[in-house]
Structure 1
Amino acid sequence: MRTSFSKGLGILTLSLLVLVGCQEAEPQEGVAEGHMDTSSSALHDHNSSNDHQVAEDVDVQGVADHYHTGDIVKLTAVFEEESESDHWHWYIRDNQDAEWNLITEQKGSSFKGEANRNGQQIKAVLYNDEHEAYVQSVPIEIVIDDHDSHSHHPHDEQIYNGYFEDSQVKDRELSDWEGDWQSVYPYLKDGTLDEVFTYKSEHNGDRTAEEYKQYYAQGYETDVDRIIIEEDTVTFLKSDKELTGEYAYDGYEILTYEAGNRGVRYIFKLAEDSDELPQFIQFSDHNIYPTDAGHYHLYWGNDREALLDEVENWPTYYPKDMDGASIVHEMIAH
């Protein structure tokens, strides 16, 4: 079963995975199993206010940069100091001004639930053998961002998958890709993305995980580890070099792929000639009208038409502040 982060001040329905932890008493009458107990006689007689006045020395690991509605949230509470107690409880509240509520079925150091409400907070509390709160984590906020590329509306999903009308395609500005971006190629090389390839193999069944890794290795390969886009300037950063140039919009091209779906390349041209910078850069991010990109594939070179034929190497970039685990989460969510 999974925890559902949904609105509710009295009782919040949980459908969470039952985890091994301390042995609770049977739910009292009026407190359904799998619900939060907000009564003054909470199980184990824990502090009824649940506003624990103890040190915040517990580290909660596994928090993603953001989630999409319905995503699974997996957290682990870690307390570095030696402790004979393994008596954990998890608490949830709708926002920082609301009261904490005990999640009765989450009883171990691991948490698993479903993200359905933006801004909810979760914390882990370790109790001693006297059933007194001993140490806790800082509140962890669940951020839900259902941006366009992950929308659950069938219309947007069709566009993301490459099925749209020409009339739907609109011009875009370079600001749609503004930010500090990192290549995912290093994460492929160090094995971080192996979980993604295993997932694709198990769910698609058309290739092994190793075959997926080889395919994406060819696609992601690049020596440009980082790209910074600000206003009309693009900076390419390699291990030993940094190059910056101004780029102007040069229209878009609609491409049809062998599978029958389509994509849009948004093209920008270097404002002044340079022997070191590419004359053209082409963005592909599964969007076809103005919106902030969550990630993108970038093609660059000096021949505009030849670049349109490139479909085997597509260096891919995610925000610089995302760690490997967050990128894996994003890729699997696709």
Structure 2
Amino acid sequence: MKKIWGKGLGVLLLSLLFITGCQSAGDNSSEEGANAEEEHNHSHEVEIGDAPEKINVEGVSDHYHTGDLIKLTAELEEDSEFDHWHWYTRNSSDDEWEAVPELDDNKFFGDAETNGQQIIAVMFNDDHEPYAQSEVIEVVIDDHGHEHGHSHAHDEESQQIYDGYFEDEQVEDRTLGDWEGDWQSVYPLHQNGTLDEVYAHKAEESDDMTAEEYKAYYETGYVTDVHRIVIDGNEVTFFEEEEEKTGEYQYDGYEILNYEAGNRGVRFIFKLEEETEGLPTYIQFSDHSIFPTDSGHYHLYWGDDRQALLEEVEHWPTYYPSEMSEEDIVHEMIAH
């Protein structure tokens, strides 16, 4: 049911964009060497309004709920020797377009946070001129999909909720359907070094920790032997090595947690219907949402002591859709 409504270009010319150009990284005295070793920068302005709309954007759905993952793929309608991609976003048609950092191929990953946000994909030729572009895609956030009797937060308030700032009365009960699907643990990606790129990016963006310290932090958070989880209706199946165990879980309410940083979170709790060897009595979901919405990824806590799980804040096995590739997950984490 998630979808983005695509809008055709309503104007003949888009805003001037500060986009990534190419700058020689080789010997300036050698034109061949300079062309062979280019680095991206944002050193010049380019008009892209005249580029033909020859790019189709796949991955469309009806709408998003706040915090959902936006996952798009751009495909050129014809064969081309060029592969120089950039994505641009703006919160409304009144704002300037901004290049999305780290996204330099035909895949887009981001979170649905602003209703009306616009996205466009552009391919450049070897002269750093726009060769083709997509139509403008407008993100529609609709938090009424579960037939609530009142209006949910939008825009700035939605971002506050995602960041963990909300009122108690805004929290609503959720069903296992919000997490239905086939999910993979990210711990194997942590172990094989795939996520090192993510940790390096975090270190560049923050003065708090080095990449090595981030990796140690996430080692504690991600570690788990449960490499896959499948949720179908009320049934939850845990896959651990070659074994799988399935149990039925029923909703057991939610708990609001206050964190030392000053923000808050919500755990949505489900209890095993019949005691089964090898299955936890309680599972608790945390995914930055506080009311019904399809989850893009989640942290899961499980065990037999409901209260003890609520006090666990350092170990949070994390799961993404199994259909996502390693590259997809890295892109989404960096864009997050």
**Smaller-chain TM-score range?**
0.5 to 0.7
Aligned residues, how many?
262
**Structure 1, unaligned runs of 5 or more:** 23-32, 43-47, 78-115, 128-135
TM-superposed deviation, 1:11: 2.7
- Partner Cα separation in structure 1 for residue 46 and residue 206 of structure 2: 33
What secondary structure sits across from 1:11 in the alignment? coil
Find the aligned partners of 1:275 and 1:266 in 2 and give their Cα distance: 23
Q: Distance in 1 between matches of 2:237 and 2:86?
A: 30
Q: Provide the residue aligned with 1:298 in structure 2.
A: 300
Corresponding residue SS for 2:320: strand
2:184 — aligned with what?
182
Answering whether residue 20 of structure 2 is matched by residue 17 of structure 1, we say: yes
Decide whether the 8 Å contact of 2:86 with 2:121 is kept in 1: no
* SS of residue in 1 equivalent to 2:247: strand
Post-superposition offset of 1:57: 7.5
Assess, with a 3 A threshold, how the Cα gap between structure 1 residues 239 and 56 changes in structure 2: closer, same or farther.
Answer: farther
Comparing 324-333 with 290-299, which one deviates more in the overlay?
324-333
Matched residue, 1:72: 100
| One-letter code aligned to 2:331 | H
User: Are 1:180 and 1:320, in contact at CA under 8 Å, matched by a contact in 2?
Assistant: yes
Number of the residue aligned with 2:323: 321
What is residue 35 of structure 1 aligned with on the other side? 47
Q: Amino acid of the residue matched to residue 183 of structure 1?
A: S
Check the 8 A contact 1:58/1:124 in 2, yes or no: no
RMSD: 4.1
1:214-225 alignment, distance < 5 Å: 214-225=216-227
Q: 1:9 to 1:148 in 2, by over 3 A?
A: closer
User: C-alpha deviations, 1:214-242, integer Å up to 9, x for none?
Assistant: 00110000111111111111111122111
Q: Partners in 1 of 2:213 and 2:255 — Cα distance?
A: 30
Cα deviation, residue 170, structure 1: 0.9
TM-score scaled by length of structure 2? 0.65
Matched-pair contact (CA < 8 Å) for 2:235–2:247: yes
How far did residue 143 of structure 1 move? 7.3
Shift in Å, 1:204: 2.3
1:159 partnered with 2:161: yes
Q: Structure 1-normalised TM-score?
A: 0.65
Cα distance, 1:62 vs structure 2: 8.3
Identity score, percent:
50
Q: Distance in 1 between matches of 2:13 and 2:228?
A: 47
Q: Which has the larger radius of gyration?
A: 1
Which consecutive segments of 4 or more residues in structure 1 shift more than 6 A? Answer: 48-51, 61-64, 124-127, 139-144, 146-149
Richer in strand (by share) = 2
State the AA in 1 paired with 2:235: T
Q: Distance in 1 between matches of 2:232 and 2:270?
A: 14
Three-state SS of the structure 2 residue aligned to 1:268 is strand
CA distance in 2, matches of 1:36, 1:61: 14
CA distance in 2, matches of 1:125, 1:206: 39
Moved more, 153-162 or 220-229: 153-162
- SS of the residue corresponding to residue 178 of structure 2 reads helix
The CA deviation at 1:254 is 0.9
In structure 2, relative to structure 1, the CA distance for the partners of 1:76 and 1:280 (3 Å cut) is closer
C-alpha change, 1:11 and 1:259, in structure 2 (3 Å) is closer
Q: Does the 8 A contact of 2:223 with 2:317 survive in 1?
A: yes
Secondary structure of the corresponding residue to residue 277 of structure 2: coil
